[in-house]
């Protein structure tokens, strides 16, 4: 960096060695790279702004999902696409709708999966159609009985979609 008239001026220096009759000679060449540095700084600033915008959008998206999951009649759950439909998350509203004092209590009552909380005989015949919808990337709908804390059963309707996360893992996101 060189100062010229009170302003920074960026120079790039290149050194080449040339073999001459009396030994090696160093040849130094310089060029002004102000424009290159200016463009790099502009790109860096634009990248920082893009990252900041993405972080803000992520916060907004989280707030939107939270608002929907807390504001709907019934509740919200996330679970894995495995044999027992392992539960990853249950909203407080869903747990309370079925008489549980907390989401964790509901998850424990089902052994950590939805198969332990539903009338599997009602669910089983609906799975092929739900799988067909999921494979098409569409919403699925199933109606079944869910077990309440007091041992009674409540008929519920679940609507959801299979979401593929950035890491390739998949989760069902469902409203009940």
- 163 pLDDT tier (thresholds 50, 70, 90): very high
Q: What is the rounded distance in angstroms from the CA atom of residue 122 to the CA atom of residue 5?
A: 83
Contacts of 171 (CB under 8 A, 6+ apart): 78, 79, 80, 81, 88, 162, 163, 165
Bridge partners (DSSP) listed for residue 4: 7
For residue 127, give the 3-state DSSP assignment: helix
Report the sign of the C-alpha dihedral through residues 73, 79, 81, 85, in that order: negative
Mean pLDDT of the chain: 89
Contacts of 160 (CB under 8 A, 6+ apart): 139, 140, 172, 173, 174, 175
Q: What is the rounded distance in angstroms from the CA atom of residue 175 to the CA atom of residue 159?
A: 5
Is there a contact between 157 and 142 (Cβ–Cβ < 8 Å)?
Answer: yes
pTM summary value: 0.66
- Tens of pLDDT, residue by residue over 73-102, are 789 999 998 989 999 999 999 999 999 999
Q: Which of 173, 159, 144, 153 is nearest to 98 (CA)?
A: 153
Contacts of 158 (CB under 8 A, 6+ apart): 140, 141, 142, 143, 144, 174, 175, 176
| Alpha-carbon separation of residue 131 from 127, 141, 155, 160 (angstroms) | 6, 10, 21, 11
- 26 pLDDT tier (thresholds 50, 70, 90): confident
- Backbone φ and ψ for 11, nearest 5 degrees, come out as -120, 145
Q: What is the rounded distance in angstroms from the CA atom of residue 79 to the CA atom of residue 174?
A: 8
- 1 pLDDT tier (thresholds 50, 70, 90): low
């Amino acid at each position: 960096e060189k100062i010229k008239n009170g302003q920074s001026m960026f120079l790039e220096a290149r050194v080449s060695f040339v073999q001459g009759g009396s030994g090696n000679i160093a040849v130094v060449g310089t060029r002004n790279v102000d424009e290159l540095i200016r463009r790099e700084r502009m790109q860096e600033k634009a990248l920082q702004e893009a990252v900041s915008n993405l972080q803000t959008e992520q916060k907004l998206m989280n707030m939107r999902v939270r608002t929907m999951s807390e504001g709907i009649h019934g509740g919200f759950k996330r679970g894995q696409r495995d044999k027992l439909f392992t539960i990853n998350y249950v909203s407080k509203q869903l747990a309370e709708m079925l008489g549980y004092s907390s989401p964790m209590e509901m998850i424990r009552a089902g052994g950590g999966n939805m198969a332990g909380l539903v009338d599997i005989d009602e669910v089983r015949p609906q799975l092929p159609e739900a799988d067909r919808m999921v494979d098409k990337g569409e919403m699925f709908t199933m109606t079944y009985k869910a077990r309440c804390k007091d041992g009674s059963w409540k008929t519920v309707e679940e609507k959801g979609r299979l979401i593929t996360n950035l890491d390739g893992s998949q989760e069902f996101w469902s409203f009940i």
